[in-house]
Structure formats: structure tokens, C-alpha cells
Amino acid sequence: MNVGFIGLGRMGSGMAARILEGGHDLAVYDVMPASTASAAAAGARVASSVADLCLGREVVITMLAEDAAVQAVAFGGGGLRDSLPAGAIHLAMGTYGIATIRALVAAHAAAKQTLVAAPVLGRPDLAASGQLGIVSGGPDEAVARCEPLFKIIGRLTFRAGTEPEAASAIKLANNLVLGCAIQAMGEAFSLVRKYDVMPQVLYDVLTEGLFSAPAYKVYGKIIVDGSYDRAGSTIALNLKDANLIIAAGDIARVPLPSGNTFRDRLLGAIAHGDAGKDVAALALEQARASGLES
């Protein structure tokens, strides 16, 4: 396939490398040209602009961290809406909010293009090894055309529905469940610390029992070790997601009280200077609220 790729950050560069290895023709673009170097070395064509990237592409993937970034790329002059060929697919693989997805759907439909939303689950190491989870939302025919790409990028694909926003809702729901799990661990660790329990013991109880899953093992270990400075996903990035989650609840009229607590602790963490720490620092903020940290 003729594929375009915009956004060669930590996730995107691994995904692009997989696509090249899969034998596809790939053009890449990033606002930071240095980001395209490794893809170029692996055989990708480096486009000079979004418009240039779109020439003759069947599918253009966007993997951008911010809703504002994908909006700029899609709606700006010479952007995807203006430049994608009729019949082409904008495959949006970042975690974007419902309002953005709806705007993209409408804009591409007006230009006889199609939006497929396929946010991914997993971190950069899984992206590099083609082991991501993928949640797809969009018309059956368009999603079917993307399947060859899903197969080389991901380990598992989940079909959310024929509306792109369904995929976005699932990704946001997944992140909501994760944020709440970390916040709940934070509350639990603060509680037991006040009763002179070694945090490692609670960690063992949780992960040997009902919570023997990555969410608890990965983030629980960071909490036990207090190793918040090696950030995988930062507090700041999680606030972006939390705001998308709360906005999705707003649009759908779903009160999300646990989600609010997750978001409130993120705000408190940032107010206390922890924006760049790992999201597990929710437990640090909870400890602070409990008088455990000066």
C-alpha cells in the first residue's frame, strides 16, 4: 500500500518502522524534521509538507499527542482535508477526544475521504515490536482496507463499531479504568502506611491475588520504589487524557465521579510540581494529601 505517516514520536517511529518492514511504500512527515531521520534511513520518503505527503496515498496515519495537533494537520491550509485524494483514508491512531473525532469525520466526509479511528494500546516498546493493541472504529469497508496495517502494527485488533468515535470512547474508557486503578492504589498505599505496613507487602497481596495484571504490577512497583522520576506516561500527559475523558462524559451526559477524583489528583500533583513525573505519582499526591509527605 501507499501509506503516509505523520507524527514520528516515540510511538510513531516504532509503528512506521514496522510498516516499512512490512514492505509498504511509506512517506513520512513531522514538524520536527529530525524525527524523520530513522524512517528515512529505513527507506521512507520524507515529505516536505502535509500536502506533499498526501500525494497518491491510500491511507495517511496520524499519531500525534494532542487534539490541537491533529486538528492543525487536518484542517489547516494544505492539510489532510485539502490534500488527501478522494477515497483515501485518514487513519487516526492517536488518542483523540470525541469532539475532535466528530469534526474529523464531518470534514473528511465533505471531502469524500474517510476517517478511521484506531487508537492503540501499549507503550513504545510494544510499538517497536508490533505488539500493540488496536481498537478500530469506522465503516466496515474502510476498516477492512486498513487491516493489513493493523496486522503488522498490532497483536490484537478490537472492533469498536462503525463510528470512529466508538473507538475513541473505548480508548478513553480504558485510560479511565487505568487512572482510577492507580488512584485507588494511591489511596490504599497511603492507608496502610499509616498503619506501619511496608508497601511491598500490600503490593504482594494485590498482585498475587485479584490484581495480577500489568496495571497493578507496573504502577504498583513504581509506587513501592518511589521511582516517579523515570516517567513512562507523565502526569501532564494523563491530564490531557483525563480532560478528554471528562469531556466525553460531558457530551454523553455520564457523571464520572471516580474520573473526577483521578483528574483532581492530577491537578494537585501538577500544582505541587510533579507534572513531569510518572502518572504513578498520583500516589505521591495522595500521600501528600494524607500528611505523609512534607
> C-beta of 280: minimal distance to its own copies in Å?
13
Q: Identify residues 196-225 at the interface with its own copies (CB under 8 A).
A: 196-198, 201-202, 204-206, 208-216
Q: Is 77 in the site for its own copies (CB under 8 A)?
A: no
> C-beta of 41: minimal distance to its own copies in Å?
32
Strand (E) or helix (H) holding 4: strand 2-6
**x/- contact string, 244-283, with its own copies (CB under 8 A)?**
-xx-xxx-xxxxxxxxxx-xxx-xx-xxxx----------
Q: Which residue, 146 or 248, has its beta carbon nearer to its own copies?
A: 248
Q: Is 139 in the site for its own copies (CB under 8 A)?
A: no
Q: Which residue, 16 or 244, has its beta carbon nearer to its own copies?
A: 244
Q: Which residue, 15 or 244, has its beta carbon nearer to its own copies?
A: 244
Q: Is 291 in the site for its own copies (CB under 8 A)?
A: yes
> CA 32, 73, 99 angle in degrees (round to 5)?
130
Q: How many helices (H) and strands (E) does the chain have?
A: 14, 9
Looking at 60-68, 78-86, 105-113, 191-199, which segment touches its own copies (CB under 8 A)?
Answer: 191-199
User: Among residues 10, 45, 151, 159, which is the contact residue for its own copies, using CB under 8 A?
Assistant: 159
Strand (E) or helix (H) holding 169: helix 164-194
> C-beta of 242: minimal distance to its own copies in Å?
9
Distances (CA, A) of 213 to 97, 178, 189, 266: 27, 11, 17, 23
Coil vs helix vs strand at 154:
strand
Is residue 54 within 8 A of residue 84, CB to CB? The reply is yes
Looking at 14-22, 27-35, 78-86, 238-246, which segment touches its own copies (CB under 8 A)?
Answer: 238-246
User: Among residues 115, 188, 223, 280, which is the contact residue for its own copies, using CB under 8 A?
Assistant: 188
DSSP string, 181-233: HHHHHHHHHHHHHHTT--HHHHHHHHHTTTT-SHHHHHHHHHHHHT-TTS-SS
Residue with cell 501538577: 270
| Nearest by Cα to 108 from 140, 75, 132 | 75
Is residue 280 within 8 A of residue 222, CB to CB? The reply is yes
What do you get for the CA distance between the two ends of the chain, in Å? 57
Q: Is 98 in the site for its own copies (CB under 8 A)?
A: yes
Q: Is 93 in the site for its own copies (CB under 8 A)?
A: no
Class of residue 187 by CB neighbours under 10 A (exposed 0-12, middle 13-18, buried 19+):
middle
Q: Which residue, 152 or 192, has its beta carbon nearer to its own copies?
A: 192
Q: Which residue, 109 or 156, has its beta carbon nearer to its own copies?
A: 156
Q: Identify residues 104-123 at the interface with its own copies (CB under 8 A).
A: 121-122
